[in-house]
């Protein structure tokens, strides 16, 4: 596997080596030993899957401490515009985002550490999105950052009037009013 750290320290893109022939294909999507040797110790405790259709935007989600989550995400069918936003005040990259196209075709995965918000926009007719987390979901700690916060400035590849959002995401807090993390703090 190829591991590439993005311009947001701690956010990684992981690309598998794909073996393909006339029968189909095979690749390793996760190997704990290799993952931990490149990224560090992360113990995933839950794996989730969602299905969505074209134009669905899910996010930007995170969990407040002490239930913050790291995530390893990928599209196992279809294509998404995947986004991570640094919510660690005093971080050199605070408020910045990184985006990557994740798809079945490119088989890329993104690792998002604790202290970041995460979301994705479905770019294909349908999508199955899968993610591993290192802590289970905790209802009272669930938070959302507003998808169109001008301070963050995510350049979503669809017009806002074409997006399908939950009310929770449509009316989420802006960065100015969001519950934040502190850079360097144990999450």
Residue 131 is among the residues annotated as catalytic for this protein: yes
Q: Kindly name the residue from 61, 98, 118, 120 that is annotated as catalytic.
A: 61
Q: Kindly name the residue from 62, 97, 98, 131 that is annotated as catalytic.
A: 131
Distance (Å) of CA 107 to CA 14, 15, 16, 30: 9, 7, 7, 12
Least Cα distance to 118 among 104, 107, 103, 102 occurs for: 102
Separation between Cα atoms, residue 98 and residue 2, nearest integer Å? 18
Beta strands per DSSP E along the chain = 2-5, 12-15, 19-21, 24-26, 46-53, 57-63, 71-77, 79-86, 88-89, 97-103, 109-112, 116-122, 126-133, 142-144, 181-182
Least Cα distance to 138 among 55, 61, 29, 32 occurs for: 61
Separation between Cα atoms, residue 157 and residue 47, nearest integer Å? 27
Residue 97 is among the residues annotated as catalytic for this protein: no
Least Cα distance to 147 among 56, 52, 22, 14 occurs for: 56
As annotated, the active-site residues are 61, 131
């Amino acid at each position: 596997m190829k591991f590439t750290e993005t311009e947001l320290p701690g956010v990684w893109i992981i690309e598998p080596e794909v073996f393909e022939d006339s029968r189909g294909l095979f690749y390793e999507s996760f190997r704990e030993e290799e993952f931990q040797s490149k990224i560090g110790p992360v113990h995933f405790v839950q794996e989730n899957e969602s299905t969505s259709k074209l134009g669905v935007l899910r996010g930007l989600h995170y969990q407040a401490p002490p239930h913050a989550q790291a995530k390893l995400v990928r599209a196992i069918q279809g294509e998404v515009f995947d986004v991570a936003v640094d919510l660690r005040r005093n971080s050199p990259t605070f408020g910045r985002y990184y985006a990557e196209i994740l798809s079945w075709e490119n088989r890329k995965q993104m690792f998002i550490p604790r202290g970041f918000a995460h979301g994705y926009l479905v770019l294909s007719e349908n999508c199955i999105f899968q993610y591993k987390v290192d802590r289970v979901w905790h209802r009272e700690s669930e938070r959302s950052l507003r998808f169109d916060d001008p301070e963050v400035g995510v350049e979503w590849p669809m017009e806002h009037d074409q997006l399908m959002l939950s009310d929770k995401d449509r009316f989420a807090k802006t960065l100015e009013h969001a519950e934040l993390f502190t850079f360097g703090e144990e999450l």
